[in-house]
A and B are shown apart, each in its own frame.
Chain A
């Protein structure tokens, strides 16, 4: 039954968007983390979405990988900082807060749209159950 597949498709999109929102939260939380377990400053993370064709002809979505932003870390002059190098510069995370806010809005809107999609499918299925009554 095709309509049930909508739950799989929208559900996959919801979990993908939720993971995207998760990376945004992690990026914003670590926007000022000068160090990390690797010893380097935190690098902004981003998710890569991938379309997954289903047997029924529909296309679900999943997160293929979480990539780190390769752009250079922000150099902040702060000689008092314990992580400062010999010239007094500290490498700070390359998180762009504006980018992250935009990403956050986009992810939450996409999530909402998929919830609505699921609701519409649910209404249609319930309506189908009333056939002949």
Chain B
């Protein structure tokens, strides 16, 4: 029975944990908005969630670059999150003179979006718990 409850909640739990880790990365980007040569980093949430649910560590999705001077958008940074999700560099649209690739508009946008999705995830779990409680009490 406990296993079933675990299973019942595991999707949202995995999603929340990934959201929290992504939030941390986005906070790092915002914190380092003025650090020379800092490269903005992020994860591909969709594939990360699929991989986490399937219980495997993911491969970084990559665009093909057919020439040496193509800008590799979303190149893997070689770092992994705790659950094996590859952390990727954000493709920069407007380069900065000091080599920093943090675009504050993008980061704040994603930060707010991610926070909202996190809270949505909490609401989902709350409803699941309410459903379970209703089932237990049978009233």
A contact set with B: CB distance below 8 Å? 1-3, 5-6, 9-10, 12-13, 17, 20, 48-51, 56-61, 106, 110, 113-114, 117, 120-121, 123-124, 127-128, 130-133
Contact = CB atoms under 8 A, between A and B. Distances in A.
B21 A117 contact: no
Contact of B23 (A6, A20, A131): A6
B30 A57 contact: no
Contacts of B115: 120, 123-124
Interface stretch (B33-41, B47-55, B63-71): B33-41
A107 B10 CA distance: 42
A127 B118 CA distance: 9
Nearest to B21: A2
In order of increasing CB-CB distance, the 5 nearest A-B pairs are A13-B31, A59-B28, A49-B35, A2-B20, A6-B27
Interface of B: 17, 20-21, 23-25, 27-28, 30-38, 41, 79-82, 87, 104, 108, 111-112, 115, 118-119, 122, 125-126, 129
Contact of A51 (B21, B35, B126): B35
28 contacts: A3-B20, A6-B23, A9-B24, A10-B27, A49-B34, A50-B35, A56-B82, A57-B25, A57-B79, A57-B82, A59-B31, A60-B28, A61-B31, A61-B35, A110-B33, A110-B34, A113-B104, A117-B30, A117-B111, A120-B111, A121-B23, A124-B115, A124-B118, A127-B122, A130-B126, A131-B122, A132-B126, A132-B129
